[in-house]
Chain A
Amino acid sequence: MMKWTMAALAIAVSAGLAAAAGADAIKDRRALMKANGDATKPIVAMFKGAPFDLATMQNALKTYIDTAGKMPALFPPDSKTGDTNALPAIWDNMADVDARFEKLGKDATAALANVQDEASFKAIMPDFYKNNCGGCHEKYRAKQT
């Protein structure tokens, strides 16, 4: 009897932990994407004519590199549903998703080395954003608001 109770308890606890893990992954994903957006906001302003600032640009690129490194581990199967805009297509195309984050990390690392002034910023960054943000948001995200 005691054994069964313990087993049931163990199952309940691990199910609870798993659910918590899924919810945590969603929370972490949202925090990383929010950080990306916050880091990008002043860059959007720079595209629109605000003075170029190298430190701001480099801070944004470091944020993207950090995000690209952490995101692939944050899509456990139990994080498909919940408070998330992630589409189920992610879990059907995990290899593609991983490859896209790898590309984001590589491109951001290259940009960190190559963007040194306003001219290189204007030459490199528009394509960087075009090739790295919209693609995933088109296929793998559905905003609910």
Chain B
Amino acid sequence: MPREIPRKANLSALGNDPDSTWPRLANFMRLLFAVALGLALAALAEAWVLTAPRPISPDVAREVSRPGDPVAGRVVFFLAGCDSCHMSPGQTDPLRLGGGMELKTPFGSFFPPNISPDRADGIGEWTTADFADALMAGVSPRGEHYFPAFPYPSYRHMSLKDVRDLFAFIRTTEPVAGRTPPHAIRFPFSIRRAVGFWKLLYLPNIARPPEAAPDDPESLGRYLVEGPGHCAECHSPRGLLGGVIASRRLTGGPLPDGKGKAPNITAAGLADWSESDVADALSTGFTPSGDTLGGPMAAVVRNLSQTPEADRAAIAHYLKSYRADSNP
């Protein structure tokens, strides 16, 4: 019996006494759970805030809403190649922008929407600010993210003048009736809100893009390649989340549908081409070896052949001087 007392005291010291320790432990567990729940909720709230679609600033919206010039916008249209994805399939008019052409990617199939000025099915009811939100921020008039199959990370570099001129031109094209099928994207990539995370990683942080100096081929070329031309969207390898690998920009990448490859168009990749070879290929489709550019590049050539020669020369100049941080 005298031995019992110290033993009990001992047990108690170890925290195994069912009478006095359990309620304390339960309290502690409850507190821990509350803290964990609080943290999880805070993380969710934080994620919700971080992934919020961010439209262009009111300042930019005001400036982009000045009247655009549809004649200048026609050139921007062909530089940006809107028709390559948005023209109605099964016909050859690049200015019938009914959308619906299936764009197969590793994440599923996208169906680029109707961007004709049709009031019901296209963008006929949009304001220029809506258009700038889409093009420069990847945000729809309903305030949702667009998937980055729409190359707004490049279009974000476009000058406000080019954006408003382009919108003015698109409004002059023929309205096309008809809605496009919904995208068929695999889960979890189908979660639109998650595009907010993607944008944190890959959307360039530019408040107000600069205009190119029109007489400087270096400046004009960079603007055309990285902005409206969006060359890097196909001609670069992408990581697991579908973002362009910055150090290997323009060094070539697999085409989104997995058939074929968009070649390396950095100075290293174009080593056998002169600047005029590049510029000519962009208007005639001829390569210096006597081949013709094919695949999706054929449409790019059709579009670029509608642009000023100085623009093609500037693109060629920029590409021939572009050095990637790492070449494959």
Tell me the A103-145 residues at the B interface (CB within 8 Å).
126, 129-130, 133-138, 141-145
Nearest residue, chain B, Cβ from A142: B260
User: Within the assembled complex, what's the spacing in Å between the Cα atoms of A48 and B260?
Assistant: 29
CB–CB A36/B290 < 8 A = yes
Provide the residues of chain A in CB contact with B299, threshold 8 Å.
138
On chain B, the number of residues with a Cβ less than 8 Å from chain A's Cβ atoms is: 23
Considering only CB atoms, which chain A residue lies closest to B298 in the complex?
A138
Question: A40 — which chain B residues lie within 8 A by C-beta?
Answer: 286, 290-291
Q: Are B276 and A48 in contact (CB under 8 A)?
A: yes
Contacts of B260 in A (CB 8 A): 85, 141-144
Specify the main secondary structure of chain A where it touches its partner: helix
Q: Is A76 an interface residue (CB 8 A)?
A: no
Question: Closest chain B residue to A43 by CB distance?
Answer: B290
Q: Does B261 contact A (CB under 8 A)?
A: yes
Q: How far is the CB of B251 from chain A (nearest CB, A)?
A: 13
One digit per residue, 1 when the CB lies within 8 angstroms of any chain B CB and 0 when it does not, for chain A 69-109 equals: 00000000000000001010000000000000000000000
How far, in Å, is B286 (CB) from chain A's closest CB?
A: 5
Q: Which residues of B contact A36 (CB under 8 A)?
A: 290
**When the two chains form their complex, are residues B290 and A39 in contact, meaning their CB atoms are under 8 A apart?**
yes
Q: Does B293 contact A (CB under 8 A)?
A: yes
A residues in contact with B190, CB < 8 Å = none
**A41 in contact with B295 (CB, 8 Å):** no
User: 8 new A-B pairs (CB below 8 Å) besides A44-B290, A144-B260?
Assistant: A38-B290, A44-B286, A129-B286, A133-B292, A142-B259, A142-B260, A142-B261, A143-B294
